[in-house]
Amino acid sequence: MALNGAKSALGFLTRLPVSVPNPAGDLVAWFWLPGVLAGALWGLAAAWSGAAHKGLWLALTAEILLTGGLHWDGWADTFDGWMASPGSRAAARQDSRIGTGGVLAIGLALGVFWMVWPMAGSLSPLWVGLPALWARAAIAWGLQWKPVDASSRLLRWFQEEHRERFGWITLVITTGITVTVMGWAGLIGFGVVLIVVALFLAGMRRIYHGMHGDMLGATVVLTELAGLAVIGLLGRGLT
């Protein structure tokens, strides 16, 4: 049962060749596992490059290869809809083409990554990997938010099957890993990032009148941005 849950989480959040015809009900409890894999890629990139920006591009590329880059698609789609008029937000978000809002959002995110990487990349590679782990925990947490947008069949499926409740397990395990790696300062950092995510989800939920999958993809980018910034600031204070 546990193995099926782990395989389901890997099949859901990565592009690894994991075949799970019937996803386990507790797959959200295993979202931390893809987070550990993504975090390992970020940590290896930091160990190789330190503060040099080549490590950032390696980390971003490796994560896209692991996950398929759907979080970037969600980031762009969320802001495409945000910049559209209220009556056309759903259509703009669901359009397969990236609009002006999406292009600006991606450019802004990459710019922030560029600024915060030198500050965080010079720290312990284990620390640098934490934001990618936190990002998958943020998805698990976001699945519990209501109401769900009528167009989001995936989120409705999670909540109708009560699968989202297992997200608390991912949050607890993520917290444990964070404290083990970074001590209580890491717990403070994780808490700050969750506050940022909560403000983002609350604002977008109000704009869209409900939760949808693109918002959860967007939280991955936001969490990694905020996480790297917070870890960089905490690292300067601790070293």
> pLDDT by residue (tens digit) across 37-92?
999 999 999 999 998 999 999 999 999 999 999 999 999 999 999 988 888 888 88
pLDDT band per the 50, 70, 90 thresholds, residue 152: confident
Mean pLDDT within 17-41 = 88
Mean pLDDT within 180-188 = 96
Number of domains in the chain: 1
- Determine the Cα–Cα distance for residues 67 and 76; give it in Å rounded to an integer: 16
DSSP letters spanning 16-72: S----SS--TTGGGGTHHHHHHHHHHHHHHHHHHTTSHHHHHHHHHHHHHHH-SHHH
The answer to whether residue 17 sits within a structural domain is no
The answer to whether residue 18 sits within a structural domain is no
Q: Considering the entire predicted model, what is its pTM?
A: 0.94
- Determine the Cα–Cα distance for residues 33 and 146; give it in Å rounded to an integer: 25
The answer to whether residue 12 sits within a structural domain is no
Q: Name 107's Cβ contacts closer than 8 Å, sequence gap at least 6.
A: none
Considering the chain, what is the average pLDDT of its residues? Answer: 91
Q: For 113, phi and psi rounded to 5 degrees?
A: -55, -45
Helices and strands in the chain, H and E counts: 12, 0
Residue numbers of the domain that contains 47: 2-6+25-238
pLDDT in tens, 116-132: 999 999 999 999 999 99
Mean pLDDT within 188-212 = 95
The answer to whether residue 20 sits within a structural domain is no
Q: Do the Cβ atoms of 200 and 109 come closer than 8 Å?
A: no
